[in-house]
Amino acid sequence: MSGVSGKVVAITGASSGIGEATALELAARGAAVVLGARRTDRLSALAERIHASGGRAEVLPVDVTRRADLERLVAAAVERFERLDVLVSNAGIARTGMVAELDIDGWDAMIDVNLRGVLHGIAAALPVFRRQGRGHFVTTVSTSGLKIVPTQAVYAGTKNAVRTLLEALRQESTDGVLRTTSISPGYVRTELADYIDDPDIREQVRRRMATLGIGPDAVARAVAFAIEQPDDVEIGDITLRPASQN
């Protein structure tokens, strides 16, 4: 099965940014999308846009730190559309700062969302993929895990942990049932900076996003490219960044 049209795709972190753009891109290409996020008002508005364009979309409140929420997201896809072809794990947060600041609560939050949230998605979807004989995990990582810089140690650490997790899962799953794709965006114009507590760092990141960042639709097209490949073709890693990003 190749192409995007007709596939059923669940997306976490779908209420804004990359998740929202991915939902719009895939729905426009004929996929049925099942959208999860905490901000259900935004999800409902997004689903209305998709429906108005003739697309198919369902929404659920999802907090990826709660395993049961991911189980409900996967179950909703199977119940409504009879299967799940792709899980796009996109929910993520950034709490930047020097390690010496000991922002332990921030560390815990990033581990819970960025790493444990992905694990919860895998735990929920993997049995379904195995039962179907086909499935695809697409996960948003970051170029922060490729170029390590001060203030991003724990954030980059969670992203690299996910990168390692997906590579190990790939090696454990060479029977043709599973595909895994890591998407590593650079500066993208999203709301990610809004969650940075340090006001100076937050403003610096916002400026760089505004002047340097690419649109989230560029990442959405990369996700679609990975999904549309035939089942025997796996796009393991995609790195995309602004052409002027060093």
Longest CA span, the chain: 52
Which ranges constitute the DSSP H helices of the chain? 17-28, 40-52, 67-81, 104-110, 117-132, 153-172, 199-212, 216-228
The closest of 85, 70, 78, 72 to 31, measured between CA atoms, is 85
Q: Is 187 a catalytic residue?
A: no
As a whole number of angstroms, the distance between CA 218 and CA 99 comes to 32
Catalytic residue among 155, 188, 214, 216: 155
Backbone angles phi, psi at 63, to 5 degrees: -110, 110
Contacts of 154 (CB under 8 A, 6+ apart): 95, 99, 106, 107, 110, 111
As a whole number of angstroms, the distance between CA 7 and CA 149 comes to 38
What Cα–Cα distance (Å) separates residue 188 from each residue in 31, 95, 191? 24, 17, 9
Sheet holding 135-140, edge to edge: 56-61, 32-37, 8-12, 86-89, 135-140, 178-185, 237-240
DSSP 97-128: --GGG--HHHHHHHIIIIIIHHHHHHHHHHHH
Catalytic residues: 155
